[in-house]
A and B are shown apart, each in its own frame.
Chain A
């Protein structure tokens, strides 16, 4: 396992394009040894390009790629010693499960006994132990994906394990099992993992650290908790979380801020009067209350979305839409007008789409 550094790496698929139009704007990143990272973002945000640069399938237009300090920018995939799991399960059709798992080791000319021990260890961890003699092509899609993963894990010297949306083609029911399995395995073998997905749940439940990408840039890097509690921009607040974070335009008052003519107390000082500030609050923290108090505002119910264990209430607060995620047992307010409480410590300030000050 290794530490991966990207030094000023950027890429454009079109030669001589202006830097603003590059698929990946020049950036500096470090992936620490034995940690799991998830790259999340919408289609076309540059996450697959970044992964391609790490695996050697894409040569960056600029910058150097370092594995444990050694420059690998010009090395082909084969010489980089990485493992990759693709969106579609890739197996060697003519081989058994055992031969599939042994293939990378045979390519490296390991001796038989060492291959056998390693293959059995990995197969055991993947629950494929009983099916080693089966033809790999007869397995189900999720078992095939396990084999793809296993081929990466048998090589205990890989610099990094790259996964490119590995669960996209898997059944929803099996997805959950397989995700847990991948997580267990990575905790057991502790490789440096870089996991690409556009599914935020997958990213949050899997990775120790998330990199949210947009328009070829990493807009925020942090733990799932940091991304949830303190999105660095309205974009991250919108992208991470379901339903997305609420953003409300507020006014400067004589003392602090006001929302719909009522004072809004926050745990931070009001930002400069330069621009119209916004405040963000997660739908999970918006409370429906009966008693008036500080940071309590009248609201009108617009609609209800049923999410199973929770309900999302769409309300109108001083002419702005706000969503509140409430437990099912709380029920839906019987009246059309009620009070909404925005907890003081959960409100974040945003100016020009960026987080203004940290509480």
Chain B
């Protein structure tokens, strides 16, 4: 190796060390741990083969959580996309006070997720919260927002949508503002109305931004756990448990390190595969690739 090349590797070294320390080492360690029986009573790096993985296969709580995550993430991201795109369209063109609206819509995103979840917990509180109070005034029965399976899922999704729609709004607005004017002029000249213009001009032009925005949000949503922790702690029972939160219970609360390792590895691989497939399908469906 000549001297300049050695210099080059010296410059890369700090980044490389950080990478090894925070990603590669933990990953390799997790792989190794997942083949051990390490738990709170016997913290040892033995080798038990695929025993943890066999246990995992019949762990209904993990698979139910994974399936729930698909619905939660898919559902909330879809709602966020529709709402975010809609709001962006509203303040895209000359609207009175559009600067104010643009900033106002971003406020929920600026709040810490845990604080946000805590506030929503108060809002959904069954006897003290304003939601049930409002329902009562309308003559409706109070809903057990956080202690009944169905409503708890709705509450969780509401918080997620509230918190992350602004992010979608921001991406979509940036996309809209970067669009060329000519296609819209051409559509006006061709005689297209508002709906046709949206369907044939705005939406296709926004397809690349849409795919990126949805994928970014899906990656984020797949990590869902802090909101669950604060809002419902996965309850009632395990009705709102996400894989991230279940992992936290098994690996950190119960200290089943070996089993936790196998769960997190499986979770990681599942997410990478799923998101890659989803990204490819979305890109194909919206004809994002193969453009000149």
Contact = CB atoms under 8 A, between A and B. Distances in A.
A13 to B, nearest CB: 16
Interface in B182-229: 182-183, 185-186, 188-193, 196, 200-201, 204-205
A137 B292 contact: yes
B191 A104 contact: yes
B189 A78 contact: yes
Contacts of B287: 93-94
Contacts of B186: 84, 86, 90, 148, 151
Contacts of B60: none
Interface in A74-104: 76-78, 82-84, 86-88, 90, 92-95, 103-104
B290 interface: yes
B291 interface: yes
A107 interface: yes
Most buried by A among B188, B189, B204: B189
B204 A92 contact: yes
A356 B1 CA distance: 82
Contacts of B201: 92
B204 A93 contact: yes
A77 B292 contact: no
Nearest to A154: B190
A148 B186 CA distance: 9
Contacts of B183: 90, 92
Contacts of A82: 189
A103 B196 CA distance: 10
B182 A86 contact: yes
A77 B188 contact: yes
Contacts of A304: none
User: Interface extent on B, as a size class?
Assistant: 20 to 34
A138 B191 contact: no
Given A90-B183, A107-B193, A138-B292, A95 B200 contact: yes
Contact of A107 (B192, B204, B291): B192
A104 B190 contact: yes
A55 interface: yes
B180 interface: yes
A57 interface: yes
B291 A137 contact: yes
Interface string A1-32: 00000000000000000000000000000000
Contacts of B292: 137-138, 140
Interface string A127-164: 00000000001101000000010010000000000000
A88 B192 contact: no
A93 B191 contact: no
Contacts of A108: 191
Nearest to A99: B200
Given A86-B182, A88-B182, A92-B204, A78 B290 contact: no
Contacts of A87: 182
Nearest to A86: B182
Contacts of A84: 185-186, 189
B225 to A, nearest CB: 38
30 contacts: A57-B185, A76-B188, A77-B189, A78-B191, A82-B189, A83-B189, A84-B185, A86-B182, A86-B185, A86-B186, A87-B182, A88-B180, A90-B183, A90-B185, A90-B186, A92-B201, A93-B287, A93-B291, A94-B200, A94-B204, A95-B200, A103-B192, A103-B200, A104-B190, A104-B191, A107-B190, A107-B193, A137-B291, A137-B292, A151-B186
Interface of A: 55, 57, 76-78, 82-84, 86-88, 90, 92-95, 103-104, 107-108, 137-138, 140, 148, 151
Given A88-B182, A104-B190, A107-B190, 9 more contacts: A82-B189, A83-B189, A84-B189, A87-B182, A93-B204, A94-B200, A103-B190, A103-B192, A137-B292
